[in-house]
Amino acid sequence: MRLHLCAVGRLRAGPERDLVDDYLGRLDRTGRPLGLGPVSEHEVEDKKGGGMAAEATLLARTVPESAALCVLDERGKVLSSPEFAQALAGWRDGGRQDAAFVIGGADGVDPGLRARADLVISLGRMVWPHMLVRVMLAEQLYRAATILSGSPYHRV
């Protein structure tokens, strides 16, 4: 199952970019034998200032047709890492060819796009900068692959 990280904004060179690249590289090595990957990053920018609705339109264009859609939103479910891994495995084992993970802009994800999601998750009750959300998502995708592979990376 191909994975798509779809986000508003550009992640420039720096420590966050380095961490995302590291975790996605690890995911590629661990996930491919499990049928998870490759990961494609899709970055969009609303240069016309259309707000959440415009961002949603741009984000929706990056999501492959019939992909499992997971939106990161503060109103979403808080999952444990094993629960997140099971969601990925369920999509993969259910025949989904793609899974897209959407990170909105500063104002969040448009309600219309959020309503289309197969899963809406929160990384906790705190609000995180979008750069860090990308790092945290990349790490959780890698962690999910290690959980599914039986690797000792995830410790309970």
Pairing of strands 98-103, 119-122: unpaired
In this predicted model, what pLDDT tens digit does every residue of 83-96 receive, in sequence order?
Answer: 999 999 999 999 99
Within 13 Å, how many C-alpha atoms sit on residue 144's CB side?
28
- Looking at per-residue pLDDT, the higher value among 81 and 107 belongs to 81
Other beta carbons within 10 Å of 114: 20
Residue 62 lies in a domain: yes
Domain around 47: 2-149
- What's the confidence (pLDDT) of residue 47? 81
User: Per-residue pLDDT averaged across 140-145, rounded?
Assistant: 97
In this predicted model, what pLDDT tens digit does every residue of 44-96 receive, in sequence order?
Answer: 998 888 888 999 999 999 999 999 999 999 999 999 999 999 999 999 999 99
> Which whole-number Å values give the CA distances from 150 to 27, 91, 127, in the listed order?
14, 19, 31
Residue 143 lies in a domain: yes
Residue 87 lies in a domain: yes
**Chain-centre distance of CA 151, in angstroms?**
21
User: Per-residue pLDDT averaged across 27-44, rounded?
Assistant: 96
| Residue 111 scores a pLDDT above 90 | yes
Which helix (H) or strand (E) segment is 3 a member of? strand 2-8
Residue 101 lies in a domain: yes
Residue 156 lies in a domain: no
In this structure, what token pair is assigned to residue 57? Answer: 């339109």
Residue 122 lies in a domain: yes
Residue 11 lies in a domain: yes
Residue 155 lies in a domain: no
- What's the confidence (pLDDT) of residue 57? 93
Q: What's the number of domains the chain is made of?
A: 1
> Which domain CATH number covers 26?
3.40.1280.10
